[in-house]
Amino acid sequence: MAEAEATTGRLRLYSYWRSSCSHRARIALNLKGVDYEYKAVNLLKGEQSDPEFVKLNPMKFVPALADGDSVIGDSYAIALYLEDKYPEPPLLPQDLQKKALNHQIASIVASGIQPLHNLTVLRFIDQKVGAGESVLWTQQQIERGFTAIENLIQLRGCAGKYATGDEVQLADVFLAPQIYAAIERTKIDMSNYPTLARLHSEYMAHPAFVAALPGRQPDAPSSF
């Protein structure tokens, strides 16, 4: 299956509706205006461990993006791949300081927040520490990361309509799913993060972000 699908011309995104990493990839694809085929991978059913999917992403994570014979199995790598292949509209500014800030914010989300409360980590905490303990752990990790990003944006003084200026850029691609999940799933008090709360309102009014929302994906349940 993996090899056959990799030879078709249309990009395919292997995604799970509720995955914030997949959410990032969907936003990036939408912003670039790229038409793609959505391939659902149900994490709760363990479909990420199917041998055919493991050929696409040996880490057994979503998302994975197949473009001809090329397969990219990481949301950060996918965003940069799309930036190189479809340079307009750009996700990264030419200004070196702003470019570095975009990478820094994206990295905080991608390595300092989300991996610390993904499904496998939460299951491990509940099993080894106690049922329900993963909720407090999740809130702590999100709040620590949000505090850093809120301060970072304010200190750099470069927030415009979006995180690093008046145009949507890479930082926004990573921030939007994390903020959405924090509000909808973790019930984080966003009054502590006024800049991020304002950004969330902007994302929820942007067509590319709205189309990428979890509940709008073909594998989303009718009620959740």
Range of the domain at 63: 12-89
| Single residue among 33, 68, 89 that ends a domain in this structure | 89
130-156 burial code (b ≥16 CB/10 A, e <16)? eeeebeebbbebbbebbeebbebbeeb
Rg (CA), the chain: 17
Residue 126 to residue 197: CA distance in whole angstroms = 30
DSSP 57: -
Asked if residue 208 and residue 101 are part of one domain, the reply reads: yes
Residue 62 to residue 41: CA distance in whole angstroms = 8
Q: pTM of the prediction?
A: 0.90
Q: Give the type of residue at 219.
A: D
Residue 207 to residue 25: CA distance in whole angstroms = 15
Asked if residue 112 and residue 207 are part of one domain, the reply reads: yes
Please give the C-alpha separations between residue 32 and each of 9, 41, 86, in angstroms, as whole numbers: 17, 23, 7
Asked if residue 16 and residue 72 are part of one domain, the reply reads: yes
Asked if residue 109 and residue 206 are part of one domain, the reply reads: yes
Asked if residue 102 and residue 78 are part of one domain, the reply reads: no
Q: Is residue 72 part of a domain?
A: yes
Total number of domains in the chain: 2
57-74 confidence digits (pLDDT tens): 999 999 999 999 999 999
Q: Which of 123, 120, 124, 5 lies closest to 64, judged by CA? A: 5
Q: Is residue 151 part of a domain?
A: yes
Residue 63 to residue 20: CA distance in whole angstroms = 9
SS3 70: strand
Q: Would you state the pLDDT for residue 6?
A: 43
Q: Which of 24, 61, 26 lies closest to 170, judged by CA? A: 24
What CATH number is associated with residue 184? 1.20.1050.10
Q: Would you state the pLDDT for residue 139?
A: 83
Residues of the chain with pLDDT under 50: 1-7
Q: Is residue 219 part of a domain?
A: no
For residues 218 and 38, the answer to whether their CB atoms sit within 8 Å is yes
Tokens of 192: 């502590």
Q: Is residue 167 part of a domain?
A: yes
Asked if residue 72 and residue 121 are part of one domain, the reply reads: no
36-40: strand order across its sheet? 36-40, 11-15, 64-67, 70-72
Q: Is residue 221 part of a domain?
A: no
Residue 175 to residue 193: CA distance in whole angstroms = 13
Q: Is residue 3 part of a domain?
A: no
Q: Is residue 153 part of a domain?
A: yes
What CATH number is associated with residue 39? 3.40.30.10
Tokens of 42: 């149900």
Asked if residue 181 and residue 118 are part of one domain, the reply reads: yes
Asked if residue 78 and residue 158 are part of one domain, the reply reads: no
Beta bridge partners of 66: 12, 71
Asked if residue 148 and residue 60 are part of one domain, the reply reads: no
For residues 82 and 208, the answer to whether their CB atoms sit within 8 Å is no
Query: How would DSSP label each residue in 27-51?
Result: HHHHHHT--EEEEE--TTTTGGGSH
Asked if residue 172 and residue 70 are part of one domain, the reply reads: no
